[in-house]
Amino acid sequence: MSNRIGPRHLVIAGLLFLLPTMILILLQGDSTYDTERGLTRFLNAFLTSYTIASVFFVVNMFQYSKSRKEPTAPWISMVYAVIISILVTLLLTSQGGFLMEENGSQRAQILYNIIHFIVTSIAILMAAGIMVLISFANLESKEKNES
């Protein structure tokens, strides 16, 4: 039996990943929600996450390359990804006002995106930590159940 993941499984996984967002959009369809503002926020979050994740992966690939004794092989492409992501962010925030939301300058928007990413990441880490603590609190020993 093959352990490969087929394209059908990837499509299903992607749709399951997007399902909560699609449900929220459908439920908000008749309200006064501004779709362009939501798209702008999504694109800003996506660009910021991509840029920061690229920097993280450069550091990760640098450590990996040291362990493989090939100093430049894996991380050089990640450096290109970081450079491209920074250029795309600067280019898109300087085009008109599409990605500027309600900030007055490009620097303010980029700083806002980074702060928003940090706050969201901290909230997700805290939620994950709480879930781990709750799962440990609910563990019971086998000896207690057998007696």
Instruction: Supply the DSSP string of 1-18, one letter for each residue.
Output: ---PPPHHHHHHHHHHHH
Residues 6+ apart with CB under 8 A from 92: 43, 47, 98, 99
Quote the domain boundaries for residue 88.
36-139
The answer to the question of residue 122 being in a domain is yes
The answer to the question of residue 28 being in a domain is no
Q: How many domains does the chain have?
A: 1
pLDDT, mean of residues 54-62: 76
The answer to the question of residue 109 being in a domain is yes
The answer to the question of residue 30 being in a domain is no
The answer to the question of residue 55 being in a domain is yes
The answer to the question of residue 13 being in a domain is no
Buried b (16+ CB within 10 A) or exposed e, 41-69: eeebeebbbbbbebbebbeebeeebeeee
The answer to the question of residue 25 being in a domain is no
Give me the pLDDT at residue 126, please: 92
Reading the block at residue 141, the tokens are 């020993």
Q: What is the pLDDT of residues 14-55, one digit of tens each?
A: 888 888 877 877 776 666 656 667 777 777 777 777 777 777
Q: What is the pLDDT of residues 12-21, one digit of tens each?
A: 888 888 888 7
pLDDT above 80: residue 9:
yes
The answer to the question of residue 102 being in a domain is yes
**Which residue type is seen at 98?**
F
